[in-house]
């Protein structure tokens, strides 16, 4: 009986495992299908999603115009309120500007139409939204003024998703002005009326910029990003050739291999100077060790990891990981470039082409024909290309010229069809895909919304905007409007 019970138990367990596995597989397939449908906009609520995005865009444009109205009135010390709070009635204060814009601007025109036809009850034209926007403008100006008073050089910038160089700019401002930025954050924490903003500023000043490990990390990242950015800017040039790109990437690869050996000690020395200037300790804080029971099959050497000092642990787990990842990525990029060089290298310059003997030239032409072959057909004929290039070795100008000039030379004479095709293919191979990235950056603002009434706070904010009107146009509110729209669009659609 005991063996029968054991057999039944094992059978039940096997069936349970199979059922669990099938449920897991079904869930994974469902997640994959959902991910695919979201990417292709093929979900069952796609119509609702499109309507939501359309509403978000509408309210984004409306709020942008309302912000402009508030800025205009505050800058010129004009009255915000009248005795009436309705559109198209006498003495309605700032609503007169909305009425004027509605005559010319289609966005405000549509907004006013919705209000007058009672299609929406959320219009953001009353005194509450005025108070929020006024306080928002004044708060941003005060923070910007504190920043300007403490930082006279580089301005901190947020990371742009479309511009790689913004990573260097965002780190550079902190790396070169750690003490000034920390002082600005401390002033914000002491003077800002918003407790959340004050707490965040104090936390950044004490827990981030006040830690030695953060200073070391900033120094390391700046050195890494600065070196990569120099090469990246060269690679983004429109006239960059693969041969030059290979040299640049190889040089950067050599830099990182050397930096791996000496960079950490150099970063520590630089960080110590910055830390002493900021009156910060120059030691790594050792984290509390989490002790756990060792398993019988564990390697005894694994226990040595826990005995590492905090500095050595940071070097192994942070510094070496960053540098090794950079070396790995650059090695992959270098191998790709080197593969192109093996195929097209003999065409890079006229000097390279003229230096080849007959055997080397014939081998290079054969390799190029194979590389350009697809479905048994090739864009060029190796034998004909060999004959054309043999003639070109003696026919081209004596000065060393690049592939663009060589192609122009071939076009003028119009009697080297295979060579012309080869150079056209060479020149259409992109060295980098980042030459078209947009060059803009957005200033990240601390978001604080205070629901105020017509009190001393409102008067103070209006005075700040009027007195510092020259700073008003330098502040970008797109991020704040985007966040506001995202949070409120669904609610607005529900209560139309």
Q: What is the pLDDT of residues 239-263, one digit of tens each?
A: 677 777 788 888 888 999 999 999 8
CA atoms within 13 A on the CB side of 138: 24
The residue that leads in pLDDT, 295 or 256, is 256
Average pLDDT over residues 154-180: 69
**Residue 474's pLDDT is what?**
64
* 411 Cβ contact partners less than 8 Å away, ≥ 6 residues apart: 420
The residue that leads in pLDDT, 105 or 146, is 105
Instruction: Please give the Cα distance from 380 to 389 (Å, whole number).
Output: 13
**Residue 232's pLDDT is what?**
81
The residue that leads in pLDDT, 409 or 447, is 409
> What digits encode the pLDDT tens for the residues 434-492?
433 333 333 333 233 333 344 556 666 666 666 666 666 666 666 656 655 665 555 45
Number of other CB atoms surrounding residue 190 within 10 Å: 11
Q: Which two tokens stand for residue 435?
A: 């030459």
Domain layout of the chain by residue ranges: 52-133+443-463+473-494, 148-287+305-337, 349-427
Find out whether 84 and 92 touch, Cβ atoms under 8 Å: yes
Instruction: Please give the Cα distance from 492 to 496 (Å, whole number).
Output: 6
Instruction: Please give the Cα distance from 330 to 249 (Å, whole number).
Output: 7
The residue that leads in pLDDT, 377 or 10, is 377
Strands 377-378 and 373-374: what pairing?
A: antiparallel
> What digits encode the pLDDT tens for the residues 348-373?
888 888 888 889 888 988 888 888 88
Percent share of the chain, pLDDT over 70 = 55
373 strand-pairing partners: 378
C-alpha pair distances (Å), 395 with each of 350, 390, 411, 416, 463:
11, 9, 14, 12, 77
Q: What is the mean pLDDT of the chain?
A: 71
């Amino acid at each position: 009986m005991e063996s029968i019970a054991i057999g039944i138990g094992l059978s039940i367990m096997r069936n349970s495992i199979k059922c669990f596995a099938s449920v897991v597989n079904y869930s994974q397939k469902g997640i994959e299908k959902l991910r695919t449908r979201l990417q292709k906009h093929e979900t069952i609520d796609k119509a609702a999603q499109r309507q939501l995005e359309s509403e978000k865009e509408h309210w984004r444009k409306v709020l942008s115009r309302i912000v402009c109205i508030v800025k205009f009135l505050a800058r010129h010390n004009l009255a915000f309120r009248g005795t009436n709070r309705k559109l198209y009635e006498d003495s309605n204060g700032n609503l007169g500007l909305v009425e004027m814009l509605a005559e010319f601007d289609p966005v405000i025109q549509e907004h006013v139409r919705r209000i007058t036809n009672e299609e929406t009850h959320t219009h953001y034209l009353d005194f509450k939204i005025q108070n929020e926007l006024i306080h928002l403008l004044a708060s941003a100006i005060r923070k910007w003024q504190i920043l300007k008073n403490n930082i006279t050089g580089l301005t901190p910038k947020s990371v742009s998703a479309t511009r790689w160089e913004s990573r260097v700019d965002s780190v550079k401002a902190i790396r070169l002005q750690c003490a000034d930025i920390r002082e600005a954050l401390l002033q914000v924490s002491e003077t800002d009326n918003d407790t959340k903003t004050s707490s965040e500023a104090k936390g950044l000043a004490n827990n981030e910029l006040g830690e030695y490990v953060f200073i070391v990390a900033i120094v390391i990242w700046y050195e890494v990003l600065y070196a990569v950015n120099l090469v990246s800017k060269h690679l983004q040039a429109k006239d960059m050739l693969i041969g030059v790109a290979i040299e640049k990437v190889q040089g950067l690869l050599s830099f990182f291999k050397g930096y791996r050996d000496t960079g950490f000690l150099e970063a520590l020395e630089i960080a110590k100077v910055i830390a002493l200037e900021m009156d910060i300790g120059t030691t790594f804080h050792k984290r509390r060790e989490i002790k756990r029971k060792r398993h019988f099959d564990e390697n005894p050497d694994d226990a040595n990891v826990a005995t590492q000092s905090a500095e050595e642990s940071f070097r192994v787990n942070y510094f070496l990981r960053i540098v090794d990842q950079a070396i790995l990525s650059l090695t992959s990029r270098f191998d790709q470039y080197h593969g192109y060089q093996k195929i097209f290298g003999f065409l890079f310059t006229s000097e390279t082409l003229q230096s080849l003997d007959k055997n080397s030239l014939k081998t290079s032409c054969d390799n190029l024909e194979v590389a350009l072959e697809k479905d048994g057909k090739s864009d060029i004929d190796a034998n004909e290309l060999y004959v054309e290039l043999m003639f070109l070795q003696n026919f081209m100008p004596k000065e060393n010229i690049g592939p663009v000039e060589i192609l122009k030379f071939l076009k003028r004479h119009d009697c080297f069809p295979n060579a012309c095709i080869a150079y056209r293919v060479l020149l259409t191979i992109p060295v980098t895909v980042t030459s078209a990235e947009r060059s803009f950056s957005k200033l990240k603002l601390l978001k604080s919304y205070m629901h105020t009434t017509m009190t001393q706070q409102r008067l103070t904010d209006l005075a700040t905007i009027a007195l510092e009107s020259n700073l008003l146009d330098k502040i970008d509110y797109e991020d704040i409007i985007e966040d506001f729209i995202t949070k409120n669009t669904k609610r607005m659609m529900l209560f139309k």
